[in-house]
Amino acid sequence: MDYSLAQLRGFVTVAEELHFGRAAERLAMTQPPLTRQIQALERALQVRLFDRGPRGVSLTAAGRTFLADARRVLTLVEAAPESARRVATGQAGTLRLGFTAIGAYAVLGDVLTLLTRVLPGVSVALDEQTSEIQFPALISGTLDLGLVRPPVPDELASVPIHTEQLVIAVPEAHPLAAVDGPVRLSDVSADYIGYSPEGSRYLHDVCAALVGMQDFLRAQIASQVPTMLALVRAGRGFALVPRSCTAMRVEGVVFRELAEARTVSLHACWNPDSTNPVLERLLPHL
């Protein structure tokens, strides 16, 4: 089946006018070439699109069905150049955004709001992954932008977008839950619940240095903050989490400031060799 856009335009015009002469005039051509276009289209489709009689031209049932489809095709064809230009300039397209579970509480909402404001025509594909999984995806190009914890591989570029303090999470029955002021780690009589070095290397290292190696060696390890807080609630120990995690409001868990103030950062990370125009338009706003 082989037919041209010119034949589709000719067919739609004749279908709207139901008169070959008027249709030819609209198309700025003579009637014989238009008639040949319609005949060629009917041969390609192997159906009769028009009934031709002494009273004029009318659409067949097949012609009425084909008219709706032909109009859709022509609409898409006419819109395609503008769509391509919008994608090429980053005004449309898709941004594949990776984020960590904790990052979702800290900055994901702000980043999505920024995207809506700066790039309203862009769709966002979200992918929750640890930083360690996001890094190779950013390098390979399967992610465009990641919200990650440092350190960032040399192949990638990054900028810090959020810094916050660590807080301590203790069971509500723990004596320190009743303390109003900052809590010293030396006053905590409970086991440490730590981060998995495979899943959260950055937070693992920061917190291990803060609690001390002796306590770390006795630590229970979890890969996700919700699991850590579930263990805290069950009375299995205490955990150190970024302040944004207090938004989780886990029943039976109390968050307190740390006397040993320690901050952690979250970075926006991308591949400088990316060819996604959407990313290029977004970066100046980060």
Q: Which of 40, 65, 88 is the last residue of a domain?
A: 88
User: Quick one: pLDDT at residue 175?
Assistant: 87
CATH number at residue 173: 3.40.190.10
CATH number at residue 54: 1.10.10.10
CA distance 52 to 266: 71
Q: Which of 57, 88, 119 is the last residue of a domain?
A: 88
Share of the chain above pLDDT 90, in %: 66
* Token reading at 9: 């335009």
pTM of the model: 0.70
pLDDT per position as a tens digit, 84-111: 676 666 666 899 999 998 888 889 999 9
User: Quick one: pLDDT at residue 215?
Assistant: 58
CA distance 111 to 271: 18
CA distance 5 to 13: 12
In the chain, count of helices (H) and strands (E)?
A: 11, 11
User: Quick one: pLDDT at residue 121?
Assistant: 87
Q: Is the pLDDT of residue 217 over 60?
A: no
Number of domains in the chain: 3
CA distance 105 to 241: 12
Q: Is the separation of the CB atoms in 201 and 100 below 8 Å?
A: no
Residues of the domain holding 203: 163-264
